[in-house]
Chain A
């Protein structure tokens, strides 16, 4: 049984459908990239998978083993209130909140994990700094470190490289690739970077007037890929 599968899934808000009849499935260890134009419903799909938004019709089926304890999530925009007093360390550590049972305080292991992810994303110097005083790209890295703390089975990323400089973008792709290949963590990533999608992913889901789901090879050979590329160039 696949780790996650959607059959005839319809997405939308307040009963108004945005995406119709979506069919796809993700196996453990897959690297899926979701592409599509602005407003096509990619973020909505991710929220539905996470259970933050009820589907209009259909169901997201998950493997019994995949409970919410192993999901890491990087939201598209941080909807965090602007004035919130929180240090980088506190935010990254809060990624360790998914536990099977209730623990009032973070364990030593949680702290080590947070420390490790802070180092991975080059945030060591900013550990004590206030989140709201960081640049957009730095904030993105903090939230990514938090997502990494939470992800032991599956990592959902909504446009993770937006606002990052080329060097960090490259590093980020290789971190994600390592998580996927070395630790077997399933990756579902929304991206507008089609080249990276083709380079790193196993499977591609295109959302638009027509949806496409298949392996990278199938995507490259399909009509949608050429049509979407042309549109990107014109737009």
Chain B
């Protein structure tokens, strides 16, 4: 135990470790904000589909040897978010099918591309880290850290500015439309924010685990809290706590950071489930 603590204090004496921790917390924070909207607006399948698209885009970027692949991935994911929203609106069933097609297709093509063109000696390691996140948050490069930080702050700011509209559109779209809110625009905005979140979070937890980062804090908070505001604030707090705790554990035990954070999130979910039962009875 003493050994672990001394290892932790040693790590914490380096500033780049601090940056990594701060970025990790920011990413988790902005992912959690749209959780309620995503869970309740049947947008979660779009989120899932987009994370696979982001994986495919990442593979293409790797093959093309793009230096700043995050912007490429962001562009592709945002475009797909817009397309998916369009098809989803036209006809319900076709929309679902097209999402499944795009997401599975992107996954397959991405893997194929990586397999054929990759120059890396450690292919399965590369694939694994795009799917499940970097093995350690400390491997993030300086640029990635800054881009993630700026994008996360942007997402949080946009969320706060449009908070009331997002509530209105999520709670009752037809009322919002009837009284003159441009629901189409706000749906698009939500989809774009989701795309941003996915791309940002991909560095931390990888494309397969993003949904967990988005959904778990919101689901936990919804067990105990009853208003939109309190659920949002609570899920943000849960996300910050879980990511901080997860990152520290992963540094101490050299565990993969994404999976560790998600594991802590799952643990928190059960804690809140018990709390919710307890509160409901009292």
With a cutoff of 8 Å between Cβ atoms, the chain B residues found around residue A150 in the complex are 179
User: In this complex, what residue of B is CB-closest to A105?
Assistant: B164
- Tell yes or no: A72 within 8 A of B by CB: yes
Contact: A97 with B181, CB < 8 Å? yes
- Whether the Cβ atoms of A71 and B178 lie closer than 8 Å is yes
Contact A75 B164 (CB under 8 A): no
In this assembly, does B253 line the interface, its C-beta being within 8 Å of a C-beta of chain A? no
What distance in Å separates the Cβ of A145 from its nearest Cβ neighbour in chain B?
Answer: 13
Are A106 and B164 within 8 A (Cβ)?
yes
Contact A94 B171 (CB under 8 A): yes
Contact across chains for B180 and A85 when beta carbons are under 8 A apart: no
Closest Cβ of chain B: how far from A42's Cβ, in Å? 16
- Interface positions, chain A 67-84, Cβ under 8 Å from B, are 67-69, 71-73, 75, 78-81, 83-84
Q: Which residue from chain B places its CB closest to the CB of A128 in the assembled complex?
A: B227
Which of chain A's residues have a CB closer than 8 A to the CB of B225? 85
Considering the chains assembled together, what is the distance between the CA atoms of A200 and B160 in angstroms?
44
Contact status of A90 and B229, CB under 8 A, knowing A68-B180, A73-B179, A97-B179: yes
Compute how far the CA of A189 lies from the CA of B229 in the bound complex, rounded to whole angstroms.
33
B204 at the interface (CB under 8 A from A): no
Given contact pairs A86-B227, A87-B226, A87-B228, A50 touches B172 in the complex (Cβ within 8 A): no
CB of B117 within 8 A of chain A? no
Q: For the complex, give the distance between the alpha carbons of A49 and B43 in Å.
A: 28
The answer to whether A91 has its CB under 8 Å from any CB of chain B is yes
Produce 1/0 per residue, B180-201, CB < 8 A to A: 1100000000000000000000
CA distance A106 to B165 in the complex (A): 10
Contacts A79-B172, A84-B40, A90-B229 known; A51 to B177 CB distance under 8 Å? yes
* A67 CB → nearest B CB, Å: 7
- Whole-angstrom distance between the alpha carbons of A22 and B228 in the complex? 42
Contacts of A75 in B (CB 8 A): 172, 174-175
What are the residues of chain B within 8 A of A18 when measuring CB–CB?
none
Chain B, Cβ-Cβ closest to A91: B171
Which residues in A have their C-beta under 8 angstroms from that of B36? 85
A15-74, CB < 8 A from B: 47, 50-52, 67-69, 71-73
CB neighbours (8 Å) of B163 from chain A are: 104
B177-A98 in contact (CB<8A): no
Q: Please pick, from B162, B164, B167, B179, the residue contacting A98 in the complex, using a CB distance under 8 A.
A: B179
Contact between chains at B168 and A94 (CB < 8 Å): yes
CB distance from A91 to the nearest CB of B (A): 7
In the bound complex, do residue A86 and residue B175 qualify as a contact, i.e. CB atoms below 8 Å apart? no
CB proximity of B282 to chain A, nearest CB, Å: 15
A98 to chain B, nearest CB (A): 4
Contact A52 B40, CB 8 Å, known A85-B226, A105-B164: no
Give min CB distance, B34 to chain A, whole Å: 14
Report the separation of the CA atoms of residues A68 and B179 in the bound assembly, to the nearest whole angstrom: 6
B interface majority secondary structure: helix
A141: interface (CB < 8 Å): no
B176 interface residue, CB < 8 Å from A? yes
In the complex, A81→B41 CA distance in Å?
8
- B contact residues around A129 at 8 Å (CB): 226
A71 in contact with B180 given A80-B171, A86-B171 (CB within 8 Å): yes
Name the A residues within 8 Å of B167 (CB-CB): 86, 90, 94
Given contacts A71-B180, A73-B178, A97-B176, are A130 and B226 in contact (CB under 8 A)? yes
In the bound assembly, the distance between CA atoms of A90 and B232 in angstroms comes to 13
Shortest CB distance B128–A (Å): 35
A98 contacts across to B, CB distance below 8 A: 179-181
Asked whether A133 lies within 8 Å of B226 as measured between CB atoms, the reply is yes
- For residue B242, CB closer than 8 A to chain A, the reply is no
- Minimum Cβ distance to chain A for residue B94 (Å): 14
Q: Is B161 an interface residue (CB 8 A)?
A: yes
CB distance from A52 to the nearest CB of B (A): 6
Contact between chains at B226 and A80 (CB < 8 Å): no
**Complex CA distance for A90 and B230, rounded to whole angstroms:** 11
B222 on interface, CB distance cutoff 8 Å: yes
Instruction: Name 6 extra pairs, CB < 8 A, besides A104-B164, A156-B178.
Output: A50-B178, A67-B180, A71-B179, A85-B225, A98-B179, A104-B162
- Cβ-closest 8 pairs across A and B: A68-B180, A130-B226, A87-B227, A98-B179, A73-B178, A50-B178, A85-B231, A94-B168
Chosen A-B contacts, 30 in total, with CB atoms closer than 8 Å, are: A50-B177, A51-B177, A51-B178, A71-B179, A71-B180, A73-B175, A73-B178, A73-B179, A83-B222, A85-B36, A85-B226, A85-B227, A86-B227, A87-B227, A89-B227, A90-B167, A90-B227, A94-B172, A94-B176, A95-B179, A97-B164, A97-B179, A98-B180, A104-B164, A105-B164, A128-B227, A129-B226, A130-B226, A130-B227, A150-B179
